[in-house]
Amino acid sequence: MQPAKADPAAKAKEAAARRACEFVQSGTVVGLGTGSTANHAIRRLGELVREGALDIQGVPTSEASADLARVAGIPLLDLEEAGTIDATLDGADEVDPALDLVKGLGGALLREKIVAAASKRFVVMVDEAKLVPRLGTKAPVPVEVLRFGWVQASWKLRALGCDPVLRRVKEAPFSTDNGNWILDCRFPPIDDAAALERRIDAVPGVVDNGLFVNLATDVVVGNADGTASVQSRKR
């Protein structure tokens, strides 16, 4: 029987995560993202902590990331205790040439955006497939909404030019760690992400949305051969 071939996308994500961990220094507070690529980073940071090569405290962006960090041996802080975060490592669903992002297919967009905004450095880890010429090319924009009035919110979002679909898991609405629901909004490729972000947030019942504009300071792109490249910008 032939051995199973490694998934190129998984190898690329791991390469990006390992490179991103090089941004983390001892004695700092680190934001821990959510999703498959962030999981690679959490495991790698845990290895470095257990080896005594790194002394950090983590602020998780989801209950799932918190659970993984505890298993990995990373001491955790609440965001309120941490105050300012030195660096956050997280994945993304799309990255455009300006290093703006679509995030939230993992369902943690609200906490991810709060932690990213509280971070001195926001390091985003992706494989090449996540690079797009314009946001909305491949992924919908997740929009977190209150349960109360979600139908009315969906009507107003549709008026912005999208097709909002309530996210479900086994026929039941997907519930975020905050107890809210998510509308996955399929827009045409987006020309002005900052303007659209503001328009979405102005809809009554919207808690936040998955457009992350002018937040990423560094994007690490992993390749299937185990290499990774870095693009950086100033906020």
Q: Which residues contact 159 (CB under 8 A, 6 or more apart)?
A: none
Q: What pLDDT, on the 0 to 100 scale, is given for residue 1? A: 45
Q: What pLDDT, on the 0 to 100 scale, is given for residue 4? A: 45
Q: Are residues 119 and 174 in the same domain?
A: no
Q: What pLDDT, on the 0 to 100 scale, is given for residue 104? A: 98
Catalytic-role residue among 14, 94, 112, 197: 112
Residue 96, domain CATH: 3.40.50.1360
Residue 22 annotated as catalytic: no
Query: How many angstroms separate the CA atoms of 56 and 25, rounded?
Result: 8
Render pLDDT for 152-199 as a digit per residue (tens, 0 to 9).
999 999 999 999 999 999 999 999 999 999 999 999 999 999 999 999
**Number of domains into which the chain is organized:** 2
Residue 134 has φ and ψ, to the nearest 5°, of -145, 145
| Residue 234 falls inside a structural domain | no
Q: Which domain holds residue 128?
A: 8-132+214-227
Render pLDDT for 22-63 as a digit per residue (tens, 0 to 9).
999 999 999 999 999 999 999 999 999 999 999 999 999 999
Q: Are residues 81 and 174 in the same domain?
A: no
Residue 154, domain CATH: 3.30.70.260
Q: Are residues 18 and 75 in the same domain?
A: yes
Q: Are residues 114 and 179 in the same domain?
A: no
